């Protein structure tokens, strides 16, 4: 029953505007920063295209957007089989939806993406070819990630904001 409810609600997107006042230090730029925070998209061929169209439309309508932060479960990585994933099974179709939707946006503003459990589901080791997150992330990639410590914590500074990206995964990731 919960699974059916999840599929019904999957195409509904909630948009909230939150303003955070960050005190400025002496001499710092007082520029307003607009961040689009997306989480748990679970992109997949079942409802991914329609969902992505809504997201892209909304992101393009945000005036003066500074950057996008995606905080996990970008893709679903589920093939529709009613059993747990086996090691090495990730869904390329899901990742293709993500890349197709966001690759044009990266030229407009930075995209910070952090893996959720679905994004690294069934990955046996960090550097395995099955780790599609490293092939498709805008921040993490195979050339910059040589060991698990490089994936677990990464510090990034954008617009006088410092982000600590944290992926709490040990491989193999539970399936």
Instruction: Fill in the DSSP letter of residue 24.
Output: P
pLDDT, position 87: 56
Mean pLDDT in residue range 134-149: 82
Cβ atoms of residues 76 and 41 within 8 Å: no
Q: Which of 13-27, 38-52, 84-98, 105-119 has the lowest mean pLDDT?
A: 13-27
pTM, whole model, 2 decimals? Answer: 0.79
User: In terms of DSSP H, where are the helices of the chain?
Assistant: 2-9, 48-61, 92-102, 132-136, 148-152
Q: How far apart are CA 49 and CA 43, in angstroms?
A: 8
78 burial via Cβ count (<10 Å: 0-12, 13-18, 19+): middle
Residues linked to residue 35 through DSSP beta bridges, in sequence order = 67
Q: Is the pLDDT of residue 99 over 90?
A: yes
Mean pLDDT of 17-40: 77
């Amino acid at each position: 029953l919960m699974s059916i409810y999840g599929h019904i609600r999957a195409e509904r997107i909630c948009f909230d505007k939150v303003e955070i006042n960050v005190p400025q230090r002496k001499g710092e730029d007082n520029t307003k920063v607009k961040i689009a925070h997306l989480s748990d998209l679970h992109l997949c061929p079942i409802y991914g295209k329609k969902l992505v169209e809504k997201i892209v439309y909304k992101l393009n309508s945000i005036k003066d957007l500074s950057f996008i932060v995606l905080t996990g479960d970008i893709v679903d990585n589920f093939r529709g089989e009613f059993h747990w994933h086996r090691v090495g099974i990730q869904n390329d179709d899901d990742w293709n939806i993500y890349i197709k939707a966001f690759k044009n946006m990266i030229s407009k503003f930075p995209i910070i993406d952090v893996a959720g459990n679905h994004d690294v589901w069934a990955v046996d080791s960090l550097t395995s070819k099955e780790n599609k997150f490293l092939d498709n992330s805008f921040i993490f990639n195979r050339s910059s990630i040589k060991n698990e410590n490089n994936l677990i914590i990464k510090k990034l500074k954008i617009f006088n904001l410092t982000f600590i990206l944290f992926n709490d995964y040990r491989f193999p990731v539970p399936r």
